[in-house]
Chains A and B, each alone.
Chain A
Amino acid sequence: MAGATTLHLAGDHASRFESNAATRETPLVKWTILCIALGFFAIFLLLPLVAVFVEALRKGWETYVMALTDADALSAVRLTLLAAAISVPLNLVFGVAAAWAIAKFEFRGKQFLITLIDLPFSVSPVIAGLVFVLLFGAQGWFGSWLSAHDIRIVFAVPGIVLATVFVTFPFVARELIPLMQAQGREEEEAAVVLGASGWQVFWHVTLPNIKWGLLYGVILTNARAMGEFGAVSVVSGHIRGQTNTLPLHVEILYNEYQFSAAFAVASLLALLALVTLVIKNWVEHQAARSHKESQESAS
């Protein structure tokens, strides 16, 4: 499912097509395609993004700053950072382990395992939240045991973290599996034959080869972790100042008709998205460069 998000390395080759009579369209066709494509882009992608910032600043800077420094907003920021700080490392370690097992060894059912890892991408976020309510909610499987021991998972922070881990589960693994499969295992095998230990092989041979893909996966995981709404909404219980993440805070403010404040908090998340895209582009650029260098040194 992650096929659309995997790191791809290609430069701009438009001139290759535009200078060739066989691969270019008449100017009329070209400009029609460009106008339709860019018009669609502007209305469906650009306009909503601009709207967030315009609406956020509609009532001036003072309202904007007040919305962001509100005690509930700050506690939402803290919870969002906490959820990301737990789920990103967990899924990072899983992603590396899964990619190592899948890319470096042959075993039966490998393709099936990859499909299972993809599962959370195709499950509705609402269901991702629901499963933890079924397990840990008051009527859930472990509900009575948990309440007897005074442990709260659903409608509390642990539930939010679990739901976040669930929805961000495949990102790193999906990024690393094709990358490590493409790289093969000769380099690692050579290192082992030369006497390197497992950790040394990983740190000095594998990691330098996969660092851009790894970073890419981490960025996507982080963006999703901080922005997740549906899954977190089901398990949160919406307790202001306690179980509210930033996206949930946006919803509460919006439903209370505090539109400017809602958009102010939303603009923070939109900024996060833009920063994510900038880093993502930078990583793609670096990866393309190191890919080119390694090809040049090989030839």
Chain B
Amino acid sequence: MSSAKTFRVLPGFRLTLGYTLIYLSLLILIPLAAVFLKTAELSWGEFIAVVTAPQVVATYKLSFGASLLAAAINAVFGLLLAWALVRYSFPGKKLVDALVDLPFALPTAVAGIALTALYAKNGWLGQYLEPLGIKVAFAPLGVLVALVFIGLPFVVRTVQPILEDLDTELEEAAASLGAQRWQTFRYVLLPILLPALLTGFALAFARAVGEYGSVIFIAGNLPFVSEITPLMIITKLEQYDYRGATAIASVMLLFSFVLLLLINGLQAWTAKRTGRDR
């Protein structure tokens, strides 16, 4: 404690910290605690019955499965896109760089109806995909497409700054020691990029699991087929089943907390590996 009580030159510590804690508690912590307290009204058996009901379990499988797959797709293509943006010059590069953030800025409902229009049976892409037997809109594949859209900037924007900061000397050393370009990437660059890539993956995954707006339009929301977990909460709420809704919400919240801690750990690892503060 004594080290924290050293003389402070700057004013406003109590005021700003106090305000921060009160605002945080009133707006975020107390409301989130309400979810767990409401869930506690259920007995353990009832809770388990709600959160392991077959229809709910089907939504976990879709939400977590599609989110993992989407994050993996984004990790691969996001790395390629970040690489292209940092390493190559091409016309329209500034525009591409700026538009990578589109999923952050575009309201999810807009993304949802736009993707549905593209992949529906008579849509721009759907008309070519459906004859091939690939049904995207109103099917689980549609959920995946929406989650890929939502998650892409997370990977690009975590990997890009690390790539920009890389010294060329590492690759020069590898090349002068006779390494092939692919070997340099595999054994020199990838280990450096890995923490950032995993952070981007985890961020995209966390966002995808909770995503609602962009998914519900394209998913079709068929029970046991294309229902996501957040939709399950809404369905229960609309049936005035508040306890059921909060039980599922607390499962999702617990999962988010674990993921958040994991991401913090990954970011600390990235900082250590690359010597950056963020």
Contact = CB atoms under 8 A, between A and B. Distances in A.
A148 interface: no
Nearest to B271: A3
Nearest to B6: A106
A134 interface: yes
A235 B21 CA distance: 25
Interface in B116-142: 117-118, 124-125
B157 A41 contact: no
A186 B87 CA distance: 37
A225 to B, nearest CB: 10
Interface in B129-173: 145, 148-149, 152-154, 157-158, 160-161, 164-165, 168, 171-172
B49 interface: no
B260 A119 contact: yes
Interface in A1-58: 1, 3-6, 8, 10, 12-18, 20-26, 29-30, 33-34, 36-38, 40-41, 43-49, 51-52, 55
A30 B172 contact: no
Contact of B200 (A4, A47, A115): A4
Contacts of B172: 20, 22-23
A273 B105 contact: yes
A117 B17 CA distance: 13
A38 B19 contact: no
Contacts of A55: 114, 117
A276 B105 CA distance: 7
Contact of B16 (A100, A192, A277): A100
Contact of B99 (A14, A46, A106, A189): A46
B56 interface: no
A145 to B, nearest CB: 15
B203 A270 contact: no
B226 interface: no
B104 A5 contact: yes
Contacts of B80: 33, 36-37, 40
Interface of A is mostly: helix
A14 B252 contact: no
Contact of A45 (B100, B164, B234): B100
Interface of A: 1, 3-6, 8, 10, 12-18, 20-26, 29-30, 33-34, 36-38, 40-41, 43-49, 51-52, 55, 94, 97-98, 100-102, 104-108, 113, 115-127, 130-135, 137, 139, 141, 162, 165-166, 169, 178, 181-182, 185, 188-189, 192-193, 197-198, 201-202, 220, 223, 226-230, 233-234, 246-248, 250-251, 254, 259, 262-263, 266, 269-270, 272-274, 276-278, 280-281
Given A97-B15, A166-B31, 17 more contacts: A5-B101, A14-B88, A18-B89, A41-B81, A44-B145, A49-B114, A51-B118, A98-B20, A108-B1, A113-B24, A124-B230, A127-B35, A134-B34, A229-B108, A266-B110, A273-B107, A280-B101
Interface of B: 1, 3-4, 6, 8-13, 15-17, 19-21, 23-24, 27-32, 34-35, 38, 77, 80-81, 83-84, 86-90, 93, 96, 98-111, 113-115, 117-118, 124-125, 145, 148-149, 152-154, 157-158, 160-161, 164-165, 168, 171-172, 174-176, 181, 199-200, 203, 206, 209-213, 217, 230-231, 233-234, 237, 240, 242, 245-246, 249, 252-253, 256-257, 259-261, 263-264, 267, 277-278
22 contacts: A3-B157, A4-B203, A8-B160, A12-B93, A23-B168, A23-B171, A24-B87, A34-B90, A38-B90, A41-B99, A97-B19, A100-B16, A115-B264, A118-B260, A118-B264, A126-B231, A131-B34, A139-B240, A230-B108, A234-B237, A263-B114, A280-B105
